[in-house]
Chains A and B, each alone.
Chain A
């Protein structure tokens, strides 16, 4: 039936697509993000939307960005990767496109996409975790996206797990993100490879002998080949994520956790350690049903698909 345009503005690329009401992407475009120029980013978003038919055939546009989106869903308060501070994105885009535009945080949009069309269709209360450069979170509670009082809920990457622990990009110490992100995985793995190059032999070979060249996909692929060293690295990442998830479970009691982002391709090699650690850190785990931990289904498209649906549903709001 009615389609909408979804745009996902990431730190390195902007993806845009026409999405139908069943969550199917009919057409899509992708360009690099001109990250240093905030105004050019806005122009680029508008251009992509126009190319996909905004303002003639498709009326609704949803845009999701990494960063804090204000409560009225009209501006971006703060986006570290896009050097945006207080950008009135909705107004600017509506002016450029002449139609309704909806703004959402990317992790929220991804959670909504999974809830509507992906791995979360059966759940009323779910947590979607995106493990990438950082750790993003989106919460759907009682079938509604949890936005919080000021629009910035579900920042689970910055739950404090280790008092006085590793420094996080946010300036605090000991955040989940400093231990449970893809970045943290690579850092910890390189460190462990330095300490025990014998155990890490295969992985180092895969990186052509250069420990500093070890990256996330190498670790996942090596683990999938059965390499114990690589498996241990993923298990440790999973243990941190499980701890953070247990804290969220104590607070909001979801029935499902979906893990997305590049590292989620490790599948059970990551999920099982998450489940084990979650169970260990969950209070009264014998007296309550245990939530499911699964891999997110929509992959990189979750944000785009989710925000297009939010734009379509915003009619009359």
Chain B
């Protein structure tokens, strides 16, 4: 049996998802725990999850995906929005802690980059080389691939799609600016569209309401889908991908969201009649994509980064 499993761990703001992944990208087993608040406890939770997985399946490669500004060369997380990591040497810490458990290599990658690797290798982006992943959750994040390579940018900060300026002097954003795209085209924007009753509804509740025929909820998806499409047209002007994959919680709405997205996108496209335009699709791998991609990167099967 030359089968080589690897472990992928996705450290998100609310939960840590650890999975044993085989060479075909299938998850053999996965564990999810709530993300603790302190840096030490996060690390301990990752170590514990990996050890638990190792009791059932052998693996030597560990890939870690983390939200935030990741320096994959040095294996450090320079900055993370939800965890107080400040230039934390995660890779080396984990390698040290898990050496006795048979883990011989650890790689660290940004979560969106890892998810795009997974989609490229096993999911909706197979066979495509110029791909954007746009993750529409509470905010908007993403990753980009050109000629089969993940583009990280000079400081590893490429893919901050959510903070493109969408409306001058528009809605205030958590980042301190006004008018960022994610204030118009994310899960948060969806909730704000529904705020007539005073209380903020979750994306899932709005989706349920829309599917039950609630016109206000349907309108919220229409508005958000439209804003998503207009911003995507800018990304197409800048990057000209052949495929745009929409991921994140809001993408579960499917055509309810993507219908308005497509039509807004095509009205805004430059030279639309003279060019081929990116396909728009949703991700195939679901919430485990980050862990699957991290495992694949650890195994060395993903694109050279």
- Which A residues form the contact surface with B (CB < 8 A)? 68, 77-78, 85, 123-125, 137, 139, 141-142, 144, 146-156, 158-163, 170, 172, 175, 243, 246-248, 250-255, 281, 283-284, 287-289, 291
Quick check: B158 and A251 within 8 Å, CB to CB? yes
Known: A163-B167, A246-B165. A254 touches B154 (CB 8 A): yes
Number of A-B contacts (CB under 8 A): 143
Chain B nearest CB, measured from A276 CB (Å):
15
- For this complex, 18 residue pairs linking A to B, each with C-beta atoms less than 8 Å apart, are A123-B154, A142-B151, A148-B240, A149-B278, A150-B275, A150-B276, A162-B168, A175-B270, A246-B165, A248-B238, A251-B235, A253-B153, A253-B160, A254-B154, A283-B177, A283-B180, A289-B154, A291-B154
Question: In the assembled complex, how far is the CB of residue A258 from the closest CB belonging to chain B, in whole angstroms?
Answer: 14
Residues of B within 8 A of A291 (CB): 154
User: Known: A150-B242, A283-B177, A283-B180. Contact between A251 and B160, CB under 8 A?
Assistant: yes
Distance, CA A78 to CA B237, complexed state (A)? 15
By DSSP majority rule, is chain B's interface helix, strand, loop, or mixed?
loop
| Contact between B270 and A141, CB atoms less than 8 A apart | no
B130→A149 contact, CB < 8 A: yes
| CB-based contact B233/A160 at 8 Å | yes
Question: Which residues on B sit within 8 Å (CB–CB) of A251?
Answer: 144, 158-161, 164, 235, 238-239
Q: Are B167 and A289 interface neighbours, CB within 8 A?
A: no
Q: For B158, what are the chain A residues with a Cβ–Cβ distance below 8 Å? A: 251-253
Asked whether, in the complex, the Cβ of A152 is within 8 Å of the Cβ of B240, the reply is yes
Q: Is the CB of B270 within 8 A of A78?
A: no
10 nearest interchain CB pairs?
A: A253-B153, A148-B240, A149-B242, A283-B163, A78-B274, A149-B130, A255-B154, A153-B240, A158-B270, A253-B158
B154 and A125: CB pair below 8 A?
yes
Residues of B within 8 A of A (CB): 69, 79, 128-130, 144, 146-147, 149, 151-161, 163-165, 167-168, 173, 175-177, 180, 230, 233-235, 237-243, 268, 270-271, 274-278
Nearest-neighbor residue (CB-CB) of A124 within chain B: B154
CB–CB A252/B151 < 8 A:
yes
Residues from chain B with Cβ under 8 Å of A250 in the complex = 160-161, 163-164
Alpha-carbon gap, A251 to B165, bound state (A): 11
Residues of A within 8 Å of B153, CB to CB, are: 125, 141, 252-254
- Residues of chain A lying within 8 A (CB to CB) of residue B242: 148-150
Q: Which residues of B contact A158 (CB under 8 A)?
A: 237, 270
- In the assembled complex, which residues on chain B have CB atoms less than 8 Å from the CB atom of A255? 154-155
Chain B residues within an 8 Å CB radius of A147: 240
Q: Tell me which of A68, A144, A162 contacts B274 (CB under 8 A).
A: A68
Query: Which chain B residue lies CB-closest to A144?
Result: B147
The answer to whether A160 and B275 have CB atoms under 8 Å apart is no
A149–B237 contact, CB under 8 A? no
Chain B neighbourhood of A150, CB < 8 A: 240, 242, 275-277
B270 touches A172 (CB 8 A): yes
Q: Which residue of B lies closest to A168 (CB)?
A: B270
From residue A68, how far is it (CB to closest CB) to chain B in Å?
6
**B165-A243 in contact (CB<8A):** yes
Contact B240 A151 (CB under 8 A): yes
- The residue of chain B having its C-beta at the shortest distance from the C-beta of A156 within the complex is B238
